[in-house]
A and B are shown apart, each in its own frame.
Chain A
Amino acid sequence: MIEDDFYRASSQFRLWSFTEASLHSLRSETNATASDRVRAALRRAREARQSTASSAAGTPSAEDTTTAGGDQQPHNIECLTAEEEQQLIRYYCEQIIELGERYKPPLPTIVRATAIQYFRRFYLTNSPMAYHPKTIMPCALFLATKTDNYYLSLRQFAETFPGDATADDIIAPEFLVMQSLRFTFDVRHPFRGLEGGVMELQAIAQGIAHPAPHAPQQTPDDLRRDLLALPSPPPPAVQSSSITDRLARAHHNTRETLKAAAQITDAYFLYTPAQIWLAAFLIADRPMAEFYLSSKLGMPGQEEEEQGGGGAGNPLYELRTKMFATVNKCADLLQSYTPLASDPEQKKNLRAIGKKLYHCQNPEKANISGQKRIPAAAAAAAAAVSSGGDPGTSESEIERLAKKRKLEGSKKDLFGGDLVMQRTKENQADEQ
């Protein structure tokens, strides 16, 4: 087994890796379904209003069927587009990074990165129109503290969390989030790979590196000399600094890219952790990153000369070509990221999206506490009753939840969405 095999067995590869096309169509699908549901839900709400307001106004249901297909209805609601959803999600991802700073000590980078990936994975199959990001984001962050061994009680977490969200509000969607994550909690990050690569480069700089298996004639001194002879990265690099400084700078800049751009773009969905850190490293110091890759895969042109131009047939050559292409593509993606704060145009746009969302939020999904774990309350109530304590509050709580559930249940019975039915069918056909 090689490392690639281990990665292919990971849930990140099995469930959360996509091609650009499949990622795009999954999001369009999610957006389309959510939009249909929002329209249907708002129509139902309107119908309910109409039927109570004027029972003599004829047959609203017949009227409705004539307009259901067309978008010409005057009250027709404008839903978010998939792209608008993406911008909204991007904004909340940046919020996660910022929020992490509020804690004392700040939440570890890994916790924030995991939370962002949970959040992004959640919105692959859920739309912000169904579940508002402001309710999902805190829960994703708290879940990440638990799965990444950064223990914080919910109470402590809620205290620092800005806004008026209570501990109960924060934890309410936990089950929904876990279910959308398909109960996979492991996220493979590029940070560890970067640390390893930097350690290797430090060893080369100190002249204590091991030669690569493909170049046994190479000595540690050769490697060191090659590293020191590298051209400087393009400005604004400081000239005439030591190799240690240069490495430290590249290390730092790579980490910054991994902390933000790698999290907030689709990098994790499209590339492996190794490709991501190498791409970020390439942005930080291209000559050094290329040198590093060549130290693993041979210098460009090296074996063509040695083997009489047989470059194309050389497996290392092919591997390197393929790898450089992929890593460069990933670097382009990472460089396409611009933080919201630095872009007033984006900010303005975002405000408009927020306003739009206010109008197209699915009213039937608004109350996430319906997703609450009822047994917890039930157990507490049962305990209160059996211990002869005051059952008043707990019982009413239980009743409230029961009513809510009943209401939800009846909703389902009353309105079965045709579109969803079809989708279920398609899913199953697809499974074959």
Chain B
Amino acid sequence: MAVSPLISRSPSATASSSNAAMKLKKVATQSSLNGPEIAPSPLSMQNSDRELTEQLNDDVRHKYIKDKKLGEGTYAVVFLGHLRSEPSSFVAIKKIKVNAEYKDGLSMDAIREVKYLQELAHPNIIALHDVFSSKDKNLSLVLEYLPLGDLEMLIKDANIHYGVADIKAWMGMLTRGVWFCHENFVLHRDIKPNNLLIASDGEVKLADFGLARSFADPYLNMTHQVITRWYRPPELLYGARQYSGVVDVWSIGMVFAELILRVPFVAGSSDLDQISKICEAFGTPTEANWPGVTKLPNYLAPDNNHMVPLQGREFFLRQFPTVGAVGADLLMSMCALDPRKRSSACQILQHGWWLTEPKPTNKENLPRKSGGTKKMGDDLTRRGGEVDDTPFKNAARQLDFNAMR
């Protein structure tokens, strides 16, 4: 455990008493003899007739102070907050809104997000410090405060210049985060630049687990309606119901390409258009280069006059010369049409590109942009894992930020 990259779940100031729920265990072995007695907080006193878990919840809630609102969407409101005990330790408090139309209790995206973030503690995954409920039974997620916006913001800003060393640093952090998810049997299923948030020290953090799920057991089906279209792999576009971690790897590849080109590499306007753009770019899937592809539920036979041969190394080298031959080779391994031939997150981490010059930039020296706080508010208020064809299509993105000005 000594060398594990696990990080504390709570902001530094409370690391020692961070896990309120650890008290569950401590209650069992408690003895009033040890430890200095401290007065109960006024809050606990007020609610002294409450159940143990309610008391614990109150204690957690009492740990934080909400400051200003950072953003509001249909799904959530995000506040800047800080630890009561240490005003300089910022957190983002994401309060999930009650969806009046959903009568079945807590919504699935909120459940998924909480379920997986509770399990995943890694430097490249947004930390969930605490969860608490307020008096009105609303759920609040206390998340790591990530003030420097997201990768999309950097890619789009023409005033920001970055090079291969920077891309290598970002890609390394992204891949480690995804690798950790997969090692824990979790598929993220919505990797894209605006879900890659940036911490104050430059560390990239994978966020938005609203579409995440555990690996299905063999033979069980999953939905193919996941991952934002431009980052969605061909097997999902063809309607595959059984898939693996390499769906996320395709998305990583698309982010890689986008970081290099500074525009999305295959940006289809519909699912069909997305398939044809992928075929044009990487080659037409056939039984020869992807055994079994024609059996997928939504497979469409290509126009025989428009068969594009499977692209080789030269293509990637020509399209993405800045990352060099080894980098192009890595990208190619992420963009294999046949999921069985695509690299796993672990294989990506073992690739030679990380060892070639230039070395990845130290995270402190990575290009950065101000105004990220607003962007974090924006990113976190989106409905978990929003996919283009949900009824909430654009609603959540048109956020009203006038409130915070």
Chain A partners chain B:
yes
**A-to-B contact residues, CB < 8 Å:** 1, 5-6, 8-11, 14-15, 18, 21-26, 29-30, 33, 37, 110, 124-126, 130, 142-143, 146-147, 149, 151, 153-154, 167, 171, 174-175, 178-180, 182-186, 191-192, 195, 371-376, 379-380, 383, 411-412, 415-417, 420-421, 423-432
Distance in angstroms from B376 CB to nearest chain A CB is: 22
Q: Is the CB of A15 within 8 A of B22?
A: yes
Among B55, B98, B106, B217, find the residue whose CB has the most chain A CB atoms closer than 10 A: B106
Q: Does B108 sit within 8 A of A, measured CB to CB? A: yes
What residue of chain A has the Cβ atom nearest to residue B121's Cβ?
A9
Residue interface mask B112-133, A partner, CB < 8 A = 1? 0011101101000000000101
Question: For chain B residues 1-45, which have a beta carbon within 8 Å of chain A?
Answer: 1, 3-6, 17, 19-32, 34-40, 44-45
Inter-subunit contact B26/A412 (CB<8 Å): no
List residues of B (206-231) whose CB comes within 8 Å of A's CBs: 213-214, 216-218, 222
A18 near B28 with CB under 8 A, answer yes
Is the Cβ of B35 less than 8 Å from the Cβ of A429? yes
Q: A15-B21, A25-B29, A376-B98 are in contact. Are A428 and B104 (CB under 8 A)?
A: no
6 pairs, A vs B, C-beta closer than 8 Å: A15-B19, A146-B108, A183-B139, A195-B217, A426-B30, A429-B34
Say yes or no: B32 contacts A149, CB within 8 Å.
no
State whether B136 touches A153 (Cβ < 8 A). Answer: no
Band of interface residues on B: 35 or more
Contact with A430, one of B21, B26, B40, B133 (Cβ below 8 angstroms): B26
A421 engages B111 (CB within 8 Å): no
The 6 closest A-B pairs by CB, nearest first: A26-B28, A432-B35, A379-B100, A183-B131, A185-B115, A22-B28
Q: If the complex has contacts A9-B121, A429-B35, A432-B38, are A126 and B44 also in contact, measured as CB distance less than 8 A? A: no
| Beta-carbon contact of A126 and B32 below 8 Å | no
- In angstroms, how far is the closest chain A Cβ from the Cβ of B267? 30
Query: Are B36 and A154 neighbours in the complex by a CB distance under 8 Å?
Result: no
- A8-B1, A179-B54, A182-B56 known; A417-B35 Cβ under 8 A: no
Shortest distance from the beta carbon of B334 to any chain A beta carbon, whole Å: 23
* Given A1-B4, A9-B121, A183-B114: A374 in contact with B137 (beta carbons within 8 A): yes
On whether the beta carbons of B48 and A421 are closer than 8 Å, the reply is: yes
For residue B391, which residues in chain A have a CB less than 8 angstroms away from its CB?
A: none
Contacting residue for B23 out of A6, A30, A195, A427, CB 8 A: A427
Give A399 to B387 CA distance when docked, in angstroms.
38
Measured CA separation A178–B30 after assembly (Å): 24
Closest B residue to A425 using CB positions: B40
- Select one of A26, A171, A371 contacting B24, CB under 8 A: A26
Q: Contacts A15-B21, A192-B217, A431-B17 hold; do A185 and B111 have CB atoms under 8 A apart?
A: yes
A29 to B25 alpha-carbon distance, docked (Å)? 11
Q: Does B183 contact A (CB under 8 A)?
A: yes
A183 CA to B96 CA in the complex, in Å?
Answer: 14
Tell which of A153, A191, A424 touches B40, judged by Cβ atoms closer than 8 Å.
Answer: A424
Is B118 in contact with A185, judged by CB distance below 8 angstroms? yes
Q: How far is the CB of B269 from the nearest CB of chain A, in Å?
A: 30
**Docked complex Cα distance between A142 and B106 (Å):** 11
Q: Give the complex CA separation of A153 and B102 in angstroms.
A: 10
Q: Decide if A18 touches B25 in the complex (CB within 8 Å).
A: yes
Q: Which residues of B contact A (CB under 8 A)?
A: 1, 3-6, 17, 19-32, 34-40, 44-57, 98, 100, 103-106, 108, 111, 114-116, 118-119, 121, 131, 133, 136-139, 183-184, 213-214, 216-218, 222
Assembled-state Cα–Cα distance A133/B50 (Å): 19
- Contacts known (A174-B105, A426-B30); A124 close to B119, Cβ less than 8 A: no
Residues of the A chain whose Cβ atoms lie less than 8 Å from the Cβ of B35: 429-432
Cβ-defined contact, A6 with B48, below 8 A? no
Chain B residues within an 8 Å CB radius of A192: 217
Specify which chain A residues have a CB less than 8 angstroms from the CB of B216 in the assembled complex.
149
Contact among A130, A154, A375 with B137 in the assembled complex (CB-CB below 8 Å): A375
Residue from the list A14, A18, A126, A415 in contact with B53, Cβ < 8 A: A126
List the A side residues contacting B136 at CB < 8 Å: 373-375
Q: In the assembled complex, how far is the CB of residue B150 from the closest CB belonging to chain A, in whole angstroms? A: 26
A185-B51 in contact given A18-B25, A26-B28, A383-B100 (Cβ < 8 Å): no
A391 to chain B, nearest CB (A): 15
B365 CB, nearest partner CB in chain A, Å: 28
| B184 and A6 within 8 A (CB) | yes
* Contact between chains at B26 and A11 (CB < 8 Å): no
Q: Complex Cα distance A171/B131, Å?
A: 20
A421 touches B40 (CB 8 A): yes
Known contacts A412-B47, A412-B49, A430-B23; 18 further A-B pairs (Cβ under 8 A): A1-B3, A33-B52, A37-B49, A125-B52, A146-B111, A147-B111, A149-B222, A151-B108, A184-B118, A186-B116, A371-B137, A376-B100, A379-B100, A411-B49, A417-B49, A424-B40, A428-B40, A431-B23
**Complexed CA–CA distance, A179 and B1 (Å):** 30
Interface centre among A5, A9, A183, A411 (most CB of B within 10 A): A183
Q: How far is the CA of A373 from the CA of B34 in the complex (A)?
A: 40
Distance in Å from the Cβ of B41 to the closest Cβ of chain A?
Answer: 8
Least CB distance, A317 to chain B, in whole angstroms: 23
- Shortest B166–chain A CB gap in Å is 27
* Also in contact, A149 and B213, with CB within 8 A (given A18-B28, A179-B54): yes
Q: Which residues of the other chain, A, contact B20 by a CB distance below 8 angstroms?
A: 182
Verify B114–A142 contact, CB threshold 8 A.
no
Q: Within the complex, what minimum Cβ distance (angstroms) separates A336 from chain B? A: 22
Bound-complex Cα distance A25 to B19 (A): 20
Complex Cα spacing A110 to B215, Å:
13
Q: Which residue of A lies closest to B213 (CB)?
A: A149
Do A10 and B104 touch (CB < 8 A)? no
- How far does the Cβ of A191 sit from chain B's closest Cβ, in whole Å? 8
Within the assembled complex, what's the spacing in Å between the Cα atoms of A153 and B98? 17
Residue numbers in B under 8 Å from A15 (CB-CB): 19, 21-22, 24-25
A148, chain B: closest CB distance, angstroms: 8
CA distance A68 to B182 in the complex (A): 57
Q: Is the CB of A175 within 8 A of B137?
A: yes
Question: With A9-B6, A183-B118, A184-B118 as given contacts, are A14 and B22 in contact (CB-CB < 8 Å)?
Answer: yes
How far, in angstroms, from A146 to B106 measured CA to CA in the complex?
Answer: 9
A154 to B106, CA, bound (A): 11
When distances are taken between beta carbons in the complex, the residues of chain A under 8 Å from B45 are 416, 421, 424
Determine the chain B residues whose CB is within 8 A of the CB of A6 once the complex forms. Answer: 183-184
Q: List residues of chain B with CB within 8 A of the CB of A412.
A: 46-47, 49-50
Of chain A, the residue at the smallest CB distance from B5 is A1
> A29 near B27 (CB under 8 angstroms)?
yes
B-chain residues with CB within 8 Å of residue A416 when the two chains form the complex = 45, 48-49
CA distance A428 to B106 in the complex (A): 31
The answer to whether A182 and B48 touch across the interface, beta carbons within 8 angstroms, is no
Q: Which residues of B contact A151 (CB under 8 A)?
A: 108
B37 pairs with A425, CB closer than 8 A: yes
Do the beta carbons of B24 and A182 come within 8 Å of each other?
yes
